[in-house]
A and B are shown apart, each in its own frame.
Chain A
Amino acid sequence: MHLAYPAVLAALLFSVGLYGVLARRNAILVLMSVELMLNAVNLNLVAFDVWLRDTLHAGQALTLFVIVVAAAEIGIGLAIVLLVYRNRGSSDVDRLTDLAEHGPHDPHDPQGEGDGPSAPEEKAEAAA
């Protein structure tokens, strides 16, 4: 098999995951896109391991380790997202801007007048 096939597929999968990480708003969908990127890396690792015929099979061992670390990551990540949702009533990553510095003309200011009254509503909705 030509090595370019798995390598190109991995590059494209990685780019799709990159788009998902940057464009998605829900934190859980961002985590899903991270999984896609990790899978692209795993595909590269397996393809190059089979190509090089490594006697230690370091690529496949590292693939298994990446899968395990990804499972741990998604467990912790989902726990954190649940905690954020429980505390703030939303898991949208672009609303978690408490640490951001807001300029005077920033339209996404959650502490401003426009968004102020809606926050308690959402919290009540989340608690219901």
Chain B
Amino acid sequence: MNVAAAHPGFLSPTGVEIVFVLVGVATLAAAVVSVTTKQLVHAALWLVVALGGVAVEYLLLTAEFIAWVQVLIYVGSVVVLVLFGLMLTKAPIGRSPDADSGNRIAALAVAVAAAGTLVWVVVDAFRSTWIDVDGAPQGSTKVTGEILFRHWVLPFEALSVLLLAALVGAIVLSRKQSRQQPGER
């Protein structure tokens, strides 16, 4: 058995790695469809698939709590919010030919260049690095709760204030200003 086929190696993937790659391909395909489809509502629905795939990847990386937070916050509320936004701005149901702006080619060039550079650097830097996912789970709810409320309490509370400010800001922004401009909605 040569080095490449020895246990931690590319030629002898474990079951977790195979599942990770398969879910990763599905996630990436859903993300690509989400940014290229001409139907705006379908883009939001494909985003659900992509974000759900990322949640499954978190589970495979043993970060269980983050996975459920991902499902709750992203799939549960952010996508619903995006769908509300699409409906409220009267997005066309069906194909809209002007979903992409005129600089598609430049965007594609930038994205391909970024992908090539990042993948090259990452593979070059971490080609002989393995994650040990067989030990104790790194992100179970118990572990996450302990670190969050023992070491990260102050940022946590600051974030709750930030969320409150964002909530008030969104309400103030989207309130109809009927007193200032009587004719306008």
Residues of A within 8 A of B (CB): 1-9, 11-20, 22-26, 28-29, 31-33, 35-36, 39, 42-43, 46-47, 49-51, 53, 56-57, 60-61, 63-65, 67-76, 78-83, 85-86, 91-94, 108, 126-127
Q: Which B residues, 1 to 48, have Cβ-Cβ distances below 8 Å to chain A?
A: 8, 10, 14, 16-17, 20-21, 24, 27-28, 31-32, 34-35, 40, 43-44, 47
Provide a sorted-by-A list of 14 A–B residue pairs whose CB atoms are within 8 angstroms: A1-B17, A5-B20, A6-B57, A32-B35, A35-B78, A46-B63, A50-B63, A50-B139, A51-B131, A53-B138, A70-B73, A79-B170, A82-B85, A83-B173
Instruction: Tell me if B93 counts as interface (CB < 8 A to partner A).
Output: no
B contact residues around A5 at 8 Å (CB): 17, 20-21, 24
Tell me if A19 and B88 are in contact (CB < 8 A): no
Tell me if B131 and A64 are in contact (CB < 8 A): no
Tell me if B99 and A61 are in contact (CB < 8 A): no
Tell me if A8 and B123 are in contact (CB < 8 A): yes
Tell me if B31 and A13 are in contact (CB < 8 A): yes
Tell me if A76 and B170 are in contact (CB < 8 A): yes
Closest to B32 in A: A16
In the complex, which of the residues A25, A32, A43, A80 contacts B173, with contact meaning CB atoms closer than 8 Å?
A80
Closest to B117 in A: A11
A26, chain B: closest CB distance, angstroms: 6
Q: Which B residues, 64 to 110, have Cβ-Cβ distances below 8 Å to chain A?
A: 65-66, 69-70, 73-74, 77-78, 81-82, 84-86, 88-91, 98-104, 106-108, 110
Tell me if B147 and A13 are in contact (CB < 8 A): no
Tell me if A50 and B138 are in contact (CB < 8 A): yes
Tell whether A25 pairs with B98 under 8 Å between CB atoms, given A67-B70, A86-B185.
yes
Tell me if B173 and A93 are in contact (CB < 8 A): no
A contact residues around B165 at 8 Å (CB): 72
